[in-house]
Structure 1
Amino acid sequence: MQRRQFLSAIAALSGVSGLSWSSRVMAGAANAGSQARFLLVFLRGGYDASHFLIPHSSQFYYDARPNIAIARPGNQPDSALVLNSDWGLHPALRESLYPMFQQGEASFIPFAGTDDLSRSHFETQDSIEMGQALQGSRDFHSGFLNRLSTVLQGSQGVASMAFTDQLPIILQGATSTANLALKNPSKTNVDERQRTIISEMYGDSGLSAQVNTGFQTRADVIRELQEEMNSANRNAITTKGFALEAQRIAKLMREKYAIGFVDVGGWDTHVDQGGAKGALAGKFEELGRGLQSYREEMGSQWKNTTVVVISEFGRTFRENGKRGTDHGHGSVYWVLGGGLNRDRGQGRIAGEQIIPAPGKLFQNRDYPVLNEYRAIFGGLFARLYGLNSKQLDTVFAGVKSKDLGIL
């Protein structure tokens, strides 16, 4: 085996945290039945939040987007779906997220994000995943979901899983975490010959048991997913892309994993973004169906589940000359789940807000960040897990959490 293949094989088993992850993960998985479930969905590429949550009471929105704006709420199928007197939802989400909002299972946080002003996809993504102050030294191998897992390990024994090809920064750190991409779960970086070589290499060491347990855990997950895929063929499931992947994630999180992470790419819409229909509308529709599939697959565990959808930044408030939008600043976060605090029986638009108008944009181009992401997550984690200020400071050092009343 070449050195690169060996390192890839080890990474597939253990992420960056050593080969002992599997025994801890399985121990946490055994206790997962009554735990809160938390899934973070990261939209990589900086999605256009103003295309998702429509500020329909702002004439400035319609002036700034003459070609791609979503029409004010009305009786037409291309009109925004009314949420309250100021905000509407993109019509592509009529059959998925909109019913969740009406039932009190979806809330949205506009003007959310980070203080990072680089407008660089990679830099801002890394910054958010680390969850550390921008000033001073930073640990690029310490992600905030890993620190959360570390805090919870002592009292709750949580099991975490990244549903990705590589272990993302957000789950790197002191607590060992598994990762496995589910787009093609039967495909693995480690074939039987390589497994034998790796097992023999560690046969005389103290790591032998952990290596074999890691292989077995991976095999168990793949076998269960293959059974689900066979069943899906017989039941003629027609969902594609993220919808099917979300079902697979839910199957694992329903029974085994309490903290999950998945990323979805393709949100960088500089050209021909579309309006009520078009490229971005299609992505919204498919993502919405995926989250709806996740909700349905979680079954009775949905009441214990919280899903948060974020992106590295929003996009420019004004459309550009190519009927698209460029890298921006503030975004809109989504919070979904069966245990949300219902506002008059429905979801809510939470956090500090403004009505977009001339003179109120950040640098005269973007949504400002009025709700800092670490403060938001700190408030959610305090509600979900009952964390005290010392524990929250371990996850987000020096940040005062912000309870938006969503949970």
Structure 2
Amino acid sequence: MKRRQFLQAMAASSLPLISGRLFAASDATLQTQPRLLFVFLRGGYDAASLLVPTSSSFYSEVRPNIGLARSGNDANSVIGLSTDWGLHPALRDSIYPLYTKGQAAFIPFAGTDDLSRSHFETQDSIELGQPLQGHRDLGNGFLNRLATVLNKDSRNIAAMSFTDQLPIIMQGSLQIPNTAVKNVGKPAVDSRQSQLIASMYQGKPLAKQVDEGFATRDEVNNQMNAMQAEDKSREMNEANRNAISTKGFGLEARRIGKLMQTKYALGFVDVGGWDTHVNQGNANGQLATKFSELGKGLAAFADEMGDAWNNTTVVVVSEFGRTFRENGNRGTDHGHGSVYWILGGGIHGGQVVGEQVAVEQKTLFQNRDFPVLNEYRATLGGLFARIYGLSPKQLDYVFAGVKGRDLGLV
């Protein structure tokens, strides 16, 4: 194999899987471990369509085309959660049942103080989880720091990024594997190439990590191949009952659930396509379709976790929200404050939590956006501290200079 071919194979083979077995927990240990899945919605989703401020008459005034009916009993009306908030109707059969069981909660006015309104800058800023001022370590993400703290504490937490490339949030001193489960079963490097690459490292410092990386990839492939027949059978049965589809994100989420139920306690996945500048829609349309697919996928993940769902927490975030007013193209533009989702079988859900304010023109940030009242590092820090029992020193390692804010969800 020529050097160029070798480098191309290395780039395509998800070789960040190296050392994926070093922190694998035993079956007995994993059963009692908290699980955390972090879901990043890339593109800045319209949080004011997900969680509609039903007590705000201003909402209907500035969203004449994309606004949802704030009251009513038809399928296109928002689902009332409280006197102030309603949920997008596309989530009626997926997330709303979790909410009624106390397994879903929402945090409005959440986000970062980053004001760039740039997808890339704000995504990077959130994934780093570092102060905006001063020096920043661009290869040191906060989930890697969390995993580092937990493994220094002898908790033996196995982490995995379910992505094509290792995202910033998972980069750092701890080697964390990555693999996109949608591509499982179709490795870019076949067994012959894998053996050739491994032989090139024999007797060298990285030999063990490379061998473990390929072994981890093979384990994931074997598990997912075994699921494919089950997926086909399940899809045929569920289609007749109008239940959750296993296509698209639903299938990917089930695969992630299977892996986190049996092997990994800390996971990351990102979902793109949330930049809705044009023809966003309201109860129907492109955004409603995305909400429906995402909700079904997350509900599928919860179902696949089985009993482990009771000690699992899912956090859903985006880099920022969108403008509260619709634009001239019946869409929305880059905004500021967002809404975070917290799901899990053991959380104190069924509520909208965090600091809040009445949604009026005078309370908008820069006369255009939801303000950020629940800063993401303090919010996530308080959540992580409760899930893992982190000490102030450990939390400071994850989010330097931040005092965690406990919203009582765990």
TM-score, normalising length: structure 1:
0.95
1:279 corresponds to: 286
1:90 corresponds to: 88
Q: Note the alpha carbon deviations across 1:126-174, whole angstroms, 9 max, x for none.
A: 1100000111111111000000000000221100000000000000001
CA contact (8 A) 1:25 1:178 kept: no
CA contact (8 A) 1:382 1:392 kept: yes
- Match among 71, 74, 82 for residue 72 of structure 2: 74
2:277 corresponds to: 270
Secondary structure of 1:236's counterpart equals helix
2:234 corresponds to: 235
Instruction: Kindly report which structure 2 residues correspond to 1:86-235, keeping only aligned pairs within 5 A, or say none.
Output: 86-154=84-152, 155-235=154-234
1:252 corresponds to: 259
Distance 1:375 1:32, change over 3 A: same
Gaps of 5+ in 2: 237-244
CA contact (8 A) 1:23 1:213 kept: yes
- Match among 322, 336, 349 for residue 343 of structure 2: 336
Secondary structure of 2:390's counterpart equals coil
In structure 2, how many angstroms separate the alpha carbons of the residues matched to 1:113 and 1:6? 42
Secondary structure of 1:142's counterpart equals coil
Q: CA deviation at 1:328?
A: 0.3
1:380 corresponds to: 383
In structure 2, how many angstroms separate the alpha carbons of the residues matched to 1:101 and 1:2? 55
CA contact (8 A) 1:24 1:176 kept: no
In structure 1, how many angstroms separate the alpha carbons of the residues matched to 2:134 and 2:318? 24
In structure 2, how many angstroms separate the alpha carbons of the residues matched to 1:172 and 1:371? 25
In structure 2, how many angstroms separate the alpha carbons of the residues matched to 1:176 and 1:296? 29
- Match among 350, 358, 370 for residue 355 of structure 1: 358
Q: CA deviation at 1:400?
A: 1.3
Letter in 1 for 2:181: L
CA contact (8 A) 2:231 2:246 kept: no
In structure 1, how many angstroms separate the alpha carbons of the residues matched to 2:226 and 2:121? 39
2:239 corresponds to: none
Secondary structure of 1:47's counterpart equals coil
Range with greater deviation from structure 2 (202-211 or 253-262): 202-211
Range with greater deviation from structure 2 (267-276 or 185-194): 185-194
Q: Quick check: 1:42 aligned with 2:49? A: no
Letter in 2 for 1:90: H
In structure 2, how many angstroms separate the alpha carbons of the residues matched to 1:384 and 1:216? 30
Instruction: Kindly report which structure 2 residues correspond to 1:255-334, keeping only aligned pairs within 5 A, or say none.
Output: 255-334=262-341
Q: CA deviation at 1:208?
A: 2.5
In structure 1, how many angstroms separate the alpha carbons of the residues matched to 2:258 and 2:23? 16
Distance 1:404 1:48, change over 3 A: same
Distance 1:335 1:48, change over 3 A: same
CA contact (8 A) 1:377 1:401 kept: yes
In structure 2, how many angstroms separate the alpha carbons of the residues matched to 1:43 and 1:115? 18
Secondary structure of 1:129's counterpart equals helix
Q: CA deviation at 1:54?
A: 0.3
Letter in 2 for 1:281: A
Q: CA deviation at 1:23?
A: 3.4
Q: CA deviation at 1:73?
A: 2.5
In structure 2, how many angstroms separate the alpha carbons of the residues matched to 1:104 and 1:207? 47
2:240 corresponds to: none
Secondary structure of 1:211's counterpart equals helix
Letter in 2 for 1:75: N
CA contact (8 A) 2:90 2:292 kept: yes
Distance 1:236 1:359, change over 3 A: closer
In structure 1, how many angstroms separate the alpha carbons of the residues matched to 2:8 and 2:111? 33
In structure 2, how many angstroms separate the alpha carbons of the residues matched to 1:145 and 1:37? 13
TM-score, normalising length: structure 2:
0.94
Identity %: 60
1:400 corresponds to: 403
Q: Note the alpha carbon deviations across 1:162-195, whole angstroms, 9 max, x for none.
A: 0000000000001110100011211223223321
In structure 1, how many angstroms separate the alpha carbons of the residues matched to 2:259 and 2:306? 12
In structure 2, how many angstroms separate the alpha carbons of the residues matched to 1:296 and 1:351? 28
In structure 1, how many angstroms separate the alpha carbons of the residues matched to 2:15 and 2:358? 47
Distance 1:30 1:194, change over 3 A: farther
Q: Note the alpha carbon deviations across 1:221-244, whole angstroms, 9 max, x for none.
A: 101101101222233354311011
In structure 2, how many angstroms separate the alpha carbons of the residues matched to 1:355 and 1:281? 25
- Match among 22, 25, 35 for residue 24 of structure 1: 22
Q: How many residues align?
A: 400
Gaps of 5+ in 1: none
Q: Note the alpha carbon deviations across 1:364-401, whole angstroms, 9 max, x for none.
A: 00011000000011000110000010000000000111
In structure 1, how many angstroms separate the alpha carbons of the residues matched to 2:249 and 2:284? 19
Distance 1:398 1:14, change over 3 A: farther
Q: CA deviation at 1:207?
A: 3.1
In structure 1, how many angstroms separate the alpha carbons of the residues matched to 2:4 and 2:23? 26
Q: CA deviation at 1:30?
A: 7.2
In structure 1, how many angstroms separate the alpha carbons of the residues matched to 2:344 and 2:8? 36
CA contact (8 A) 2:24 2:264 kept: no
In structure 1, how many angstroms separate the alpha carbons of the residues matched to 2:50 and 2:168? 27
